[in-house]
Structure 1
Amino acid sequence: MSSGFLYPFLDARERDPGPLLADLAASAVAKSIESARLRRTTAEACAADVERAAAETARRFAAGGRLFTFGNGGSSTDAATLAALFARPPAGARPLPAWSLTADQAILTALGNDVGFDLVFARQLIARGAAGDVAVAMSTSGSSRDLTAALAEARRLGMYTIGFAGHDGGSFATGSDLDVCLVVRSQSVHRIQEAQALLGHRLWSAVHRLREGER
């Protein structure tokens, strides 16, 4: 089966690699420029919401709260990275209690098998979350049912809820279970996740700054 529709460069028939290499270089430069532009405009558009989310997250940490992150696919990796940044920060920063709900494959597969995948995060929050904690859902669509179910449960428990979404924000933006929704306005999954990584770091940095200010 031809893969040309996915990777057109692989089906190139030119014997001279020059044009192909030039096309690859031009594509890489264009994507880099697009990514930088989107990250800049997203950071500017979301700056006030990031600060608002950071202020409440810092307040909850100070009161003994914890942070739980979750997502699907590539977003699960981003969620784990964000939790690790809080829990195991660079040298000189204070560790804060944060966990990724995607980290334990035994729990994920057990819940997926026994109660259904839509509840793999909601059920973990029932067991581990409490009023005063923070829930962070990461998604490119903003509409995954397991994430919206978890956010509804987080809201019921009295947790502070933060959502990262792409496109137009999906169900995250139109629902009532998020305190803050950070939307990356793009149709590219790759560019969305790159911009979300920046927003996650901005959130951590702001929380860290506020916590150090308290000291």
Structure 2
Amino acid sequence: MTGMQQLYPFLYAGGPGLDALMADVRRSTAEKAADIARLRESVLEEYGEALAVCAARMADAFRAGGRLFTFGNGGSSTDAQDVAALFLNPGDAGRPLPALALTTDVAVVTALSNDIGFEVVFARQLAAFGRPGDIALALSTSGNSDNLIAALREAARRGMLTVGLAGYTGGQMAEEPAFSDGRHHLFVVPSSSVHRIQEAQTTIYHALWELTQRELTQAELDREAR
């Protein structure tokens, strides 16, 4: 078969029919949907209490004037932007909260990468903007990105609350003292599939957002009741 025939076998005589191809697509889609549903359920079951604790601390930080900084590489950079947009502009679903994705300023990212090195692109921004009581949220599928580790260390040095989302077994993130001794929060999706990890991480940060909003609303109701 030529390259085109391998890509589109149903278009060529003697190749698998379109019906057979679509049956394979449907079966594969159903299997993937079932896999991610199981993974999401297991992650939420394992981390349900920890997510509530983390959200309560995030709510405390926002109430005290803290801001959320998110960051990641590749597909995780897009997820980091989604997290920031979710907190900053939730529409009618909640209150807007100060959040910024450190992946969006191309001039800053490329300047730091060119002049110093890619490993500092997030740490230097936190050094400039971060302050005690802010929140740093890092997203990674492997947990091994040097620039994320550097940023998390910078955030911890500055007295920020750090939150990590990783996959596989957590990588270097899981070995960071702030995470390993329980002072900060790490949520690991136990999968070796980048796609399944990112899908489950979406569930995690949406749960964090919803729980944070609930904590802020409940605090207001409690104040009004007193």
TM range (shorter): over 0.9
String of CA shifts for 1:112-152, please: whole Å, max 9, x gaps.
11110000000000000001100000000001000000000
Structure 2 residue 7 is the aligned partner of structure 1 residue 14: no
Going from structure 1 to structure 2, the CA distance change for 1:23 and 1:145 (only over 3 Å counts) comes to: same
String of CA shifts for 1:18-72, please: whole Å, max 9, x gaps.
2111111111111111111111111111111111110111001111111100000
Query: Contact 2:123/2:150 (CA < 8 Å) preserved in 1?
Result: yes
**Which position in structure 2 is the counterpart of 1:44?**
45
Going from structure 1 to structure 2, the CA distance change for 1:184 and 1:9 (only over 3 Å counts) comes to: farther
1:169-184 mapped onto 2 (5 Å cutoff): 169-178=170-179, 179-184=184-189
Query: Partner amino acid for 1:34?
Result: D
RMSD over aligned Cα, in angstroms? 1.6
Structure 2 residue 204 is the aligned partner of structure 1 residue 199: yes
Going from structure 1 to structure 2, the CA distance change for 1:27 and 1:15 (only over 3 Å counts) comes to: closer
Distance 2:113 2:134 in 1: 24
Q: Structure 2: any 5+ residue segments left out of the alignment?
A: 221-226
Q: Structure 1: any 5+ residue segments left out of the alignment?
A: none
Distance 1:36 1:164 in 2: 18
Matched residue SS, 1:147: helix
Query: Partner amino acid for 1:30?
Result: E
Distance 2:7 2:168 in 1: 28
Going from structure 1 to structure 2, the CA distance change for 1:15 and 1:191 (only over 3 Å counts) comes to: closer
Runs of 4+ in 1 over 2 A off after TM superposition: 8-13
Q: Using the TM superposition, give the Cα deviation of residue 102 of structure 1 relative to its aligned residue in structure 2, in angstroms.
A: 0.4
Report the TM-score, using the length of structure 1 for normalisation: 0.94
The one of 193, 205, 214 equivalent to 1:209 is: 214
Query: Contact 1:9/1:20 (CA < 8 Å) preserved in 2?
Result: no
**Which position in structure 2 is the counterpart of 1:88?**
89
**Which position in structure 1 is the counterpart of 2:33?**
32
Distance 1:15 1:210 in 2: 55
Structure 2 residue 168 is the aligned partner of structure 1 residue 167: yes
Q: Using the TM superposition, give the Cα deviation of residue 168 of structure 1 relative to its aligned residue in structure 2, in angstroms.
A: 0.4
Matched residue SS, 2:163: strand
Query: Contact 1:136/1:161 (CA < 8 Å) preserved in 2?
Result: yes
Distance 1:74 1:56 in 2: 27
Query: Partner amino acid for 1:211?
Result: L
The one of 184, 194, 201 equivalent to 1:189 is: 194
Distance 2:16 2:134 in 1: 60
Report the TM-score, using the length of structure 2 for normalisation: 0.89
Matched residue SS, 1:177: helix
Query: Partner amino acid for 2:208?
Result: L
Distance 1:188 1:92 in 2: 31
Query: Partner amino acid for 1:54?
Result: A
Query: Contact 2:9/2:15 (CA < 8 Å) preserved in 1?
Result: no
Structure 2 residue 144 is the aligned partner of structure 1 residue 139: no
Distance 1:150 1:182 in 2: 17
